[in-house]
């Protein structure tokens, strides 16, 4: 099916930009990737946070039918990977609503923020026991959100391209740490370039450059050898015979008129594709469900997805059913925005069904 027009229209109303600060420091990316290897393994992850980890309640309110408590805790990530979080995210705040009267069971349903349905899927991969999971409007990886979805047009590609071109550490060091190489991996070569061309022809004209403004050579950039561990992001340049515009010598040469060139202005078509590839690689490394343990019982997972979702494209990426055999996927008509606005009852029903399934299958665990 096509994409929701409402999704596209709504995105145009928002003027916010993503990645305005660039990729981040290479050393921070390296720390994130190294830590991902730990939390990707459930056995290693389950002992990272002690059971008596401090949680603070700073407000209690009594309503007609429930008690409401508000509190906070310091994100364990602040201790495990110090300084990696923005200051605003160090203190995690929550609201805990407890009914005054319980029925037969006492289930606890954790609702994360609107962008947290994916941080929900990842959390369940770490949990060592059967647990219900209801991912709403999320999928197997976040890479498609920022490379082919409507949010990709909000990404500050100009800044990302410039930073990627100037700092060789992204290519020389970071790529070596990227491990994911599944069926939808960025390392797949020509298929990636085809997908990029298909999905990015709508980008604004400031991301395009005529071939006449760039020197062109057959064979493209030196990829450092596709057989070594680095697996250069665009090793397809020489390995599949594709042609890419090359960067000037030392990323700071001179053009035909003797004017010193800005690396960010050179060979934009090739550089833009490389930046997209790098974005996909980074996102897949950190968010692709295939990089994490399979939940203990996938039959307790009920996924709710919109058929015409333009924010979370499903084309070209592994489905959750392939990664989590046995999970259930429920599709609703419409897109991301309309589902959020008008289909809340479907999300609630999925929660009820998943919890009922858990109670029947594991009567002694709740």
pLDDT value of residue 225:
34
The terminus-to-terminus CA distance of the chain in angstroms comes to: 40
pLDDT value of residue 119:
72
Calpha distance 142→281 (Å, rounded): 11
pLDDT value of residue 148:
94
pLDDT value of residue 129:
95
Number of neighbours of residue 277 by Cβ within 10 angstroms:
22
Calpha distance 267→216 (Å, rounded): 9
Closest by alpha carbon to 219, among 250, 192, 244? 244
In DSSP notation, 219-244 reads T-S--S-TTSTT--TTTHHHHS---E
Calpha distance 51→86 (Å, rounded): 25
pLDDT tens digits in sequence order for the chain, 366 residues long: 689 999 999 988 888 899 999 999 999 999 999 999 999 999 999 889 999 999 999 999 999 999 999 999 999 999 999 999 999 999 999 999 999 999 888 889 999 887 778 979 999 999 999 999 999 999 999 999 999 999 999 999 999 999 999 999 998 889 888 888 788 887 654 454 445 455 444 444 333 433 333 333 333 333 333 333 333 322 322 232 232 223 233 333 434 334 444 544 444 458 999 999 999 999 999 999 999 999 999 999 999 999 999 999 999 999 999 999 999 999 999 999 999 999 999 999 999 999 999 999 999 886
For residues 87 and 80, is the Cβ–Cβ distance under 8 A?
no
Closest by alpha carbon to 186, among 276, 64, 121? 276
pLDDT value of residue 366:
61
pLDDT value of residue 1:
61
**Alpha helices per DSSP H over the chain:** 5-13, 26-39, 42-45, 76-80, 87-90, 120-126, 143-147, 157-166, 169, 190-200, 236-239, 268-287, 320-323, 336-342, 344-361
Calpha distance 165→101 (Å, rounded): 60
| pTM for this predicted structure | 0.77
Calpha distance 133→109 (Å, rounded): 9
């Amino acid at each position: 099916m096509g994409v929701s027009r409402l999704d596209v229209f709504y995105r145009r109303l928002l003027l916010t930009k993503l990645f305005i600060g660039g990729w981040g420091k290479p050393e921070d990316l390296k720390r994130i990737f190294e830590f991902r290897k730990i939390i990707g393994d459930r056995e290693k992850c389950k002992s990272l946070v002690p059971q008596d980890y401090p949680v603070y309640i700073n407000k209690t309110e009594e309503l007609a039918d429930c008690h409401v408590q508000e509190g906070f805790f310091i994100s364990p990530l602040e201790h495990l990977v110090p300084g990696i979080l923005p200051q605003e995210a160090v203190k995690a705040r929550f609201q805990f609503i407890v009914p005054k009267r319980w029925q037969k069971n006492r289930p606890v349903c954790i609702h994360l923020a609107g962008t947290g349905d994916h941080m929900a899927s990842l959390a369940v991969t770490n949990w060592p026991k059967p647990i219900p999971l209801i991912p709403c409007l999320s999928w197997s990886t976040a890479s498609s959100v920022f490379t082919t979805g409507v949010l990709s047009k909000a990404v500050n590609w100009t800044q990302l391209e410039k930073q990627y071109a100037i700092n060789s550490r992204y290519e020389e060091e970071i790529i070596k740490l990227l491990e994911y190489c599944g069926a939808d991996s960025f390392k797949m070569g020509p298929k990636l370039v085809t997908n990029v061309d298909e999905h990015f022809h709508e980008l604004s004209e400031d991301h395009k450059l005529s071939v006449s403004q760039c020197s062109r050579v057959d064979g493209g950039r030196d990829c450092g050898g596709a057989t070594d561990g680095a697996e250069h992001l665009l090793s397809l340049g020489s390995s599949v015979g594709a042609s890419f515009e090359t960067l000037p010598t030392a990323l700071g040469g001179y053009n035909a008129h003797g004017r010193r060139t800005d690396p960010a202005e050179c060979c934009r078509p090739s550089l833009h594709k490389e930046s997209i590839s790098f974005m996909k690689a980074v996102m897949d490394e950190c968010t692709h469900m295939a990089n994490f343990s399979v939940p203990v019982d996938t039959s307790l997972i009920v996924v709710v997805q919109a058929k015409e979702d333009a924010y979370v494209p499903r084309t070209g990426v592994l489905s959750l059913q392939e990664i989590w055999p046995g999970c259930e996927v429920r599709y609703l008509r419409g897109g991301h925005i309309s589902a959020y606005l008008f289909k809340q009852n479907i999300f609630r029903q999925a929660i009820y069904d998943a919890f009922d399934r858990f109670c029947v299958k594991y009567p002694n665990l709740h």
